[in-house]
Amino acid sequence: MTTAAINAALTLLDAAHDTIGGLRPEAPRLARWAELIAGRLHRGGMVLTAGNGGSATHAAHLAGELVGRFRHERRSLRAVCLTADGSTLTALGNDYGFERIFARQVEGLAGRDDVVVLFSTSGRSPNVLEAVTAARQCGALTLAFTGPAPNPLQRVADDAVAVDGADAASIQDAHHVGLHAVCVALDHVLGLPQPVEAMT
């Protein structure tokens, strides 16, 4: 183990700590997102999520927390991750181009009672921006986790949390914590009881 390796790890950890701490002023916005999501779900809507690379894992994570549970036992909530089906993604990429892989799914699945939650570290991913356009055309609400503002996704989404991080890794760390903040706020909006013991 070298001093350089230790210092590199500490630098990354410090950056993540600072970036995640910068989310504190966004707590009211994240709680409002939980209220918006709960309202749409109550009307029969669902949550669609998408992102690329590490952001794709955040999209899948959010959908999993909603379909499963976060801290409280509850009914399954309607959510689908648009990055999860490799056959669909490769077919759409082959037939329509990579920029359309999310938009085409939004066109087929989303309606005016739905919420599309998007993740992009840069806020400039063309396929994520295309998804916003498709969501707007079908009347769905768009919420986005992005990198530093201003960026294209932050400007076109209905609402966005723009994380001011030192690098992509710390921004993604903050997105992970931010989606958990939405989930815990959603539990409270739904009026759920005390947390159950974690099963995983």
| C-beta separation of 72 from 193 below 8 A | yes
Instruction: With a cut of 90, say whether residue 88 has pLDDT above it.
Output: yes
CA distance 7 to 123: 29
What is each CA distance from 4 to 1, 7, 10, 11, 170, in whole angstroms? Answer: 9, 5, 10, 10, 20
What is the C-alpha radius of gyration for the chain, rounded to an integer number of angstroms?
Answer: 17
User: What pLDDT is attached to residue 110?
Assistant: 98
Q: pLDDT band at residue 149, thresholds of 50, 70 and 90? A: very high
**What's the total number of domains in the chain?**
1
User: What pLDDT is attached to residue 196?
Assistant: 55
CA distance 58 to 173: 10
Query: For residue 105, how many other CB atoms are within 10 A of its CB?
Result: 22
| C-beta separation of 145 from 161 below 8 A | yes
In a domain, 197, yes or no: no
Q: pLDDT band at residue 199, thresholds of 50, 70 and 90? A: very low
* Residue 188 tokens, joined: 């409270």
| C-beta separation of 83 from 106 below 8 A | no
* Residue 147 tokens, joined: 């990198």
**Coil, strand, or helix at residue 129?**
helix
In a domain, 199, yes or no: no
In a domain, 198, yes or no: no
The domain of 139 spans 3-189
Q: Supply the DSSP symbol for 26.
A: G
CA 34 to chain centre: 12
What is each CA distance from 67 to 41, 62, 63, in whole angstroms? Answer: 12, 9, 6
In a domain, 194, yes or no: no
In a domain, 183, yes or no: yes
In a domain, 134, yes or no: yes
- Cis previous bond, 193, omega within 30: no
CA distance 93 to 160: 27
CATH code of the domain covering residue 164: 3.40.50.10490
User: What pLDDT is attached to residue 72?
Assistant: 85
In a domain, 175, yes or no: yes
In a domain, 180, yes or no: yes
Q: What is the mean pLDDT of the chain?
A: 94
Phi, psi of 10, rounded to the nearest 5 degrees = -65, -40
- Taking only the tens place, the pLDDT of each residue in 15-64 is 999 999 999 999 999 999 999 999 999 999 999 999 999 999 999 999 99
Instruction: With a cut of 90, say whether residue 194 has pLDDT above it.
Output: no
Handedness of CA 181, 173, 123, 109 (dihedral sign): negative
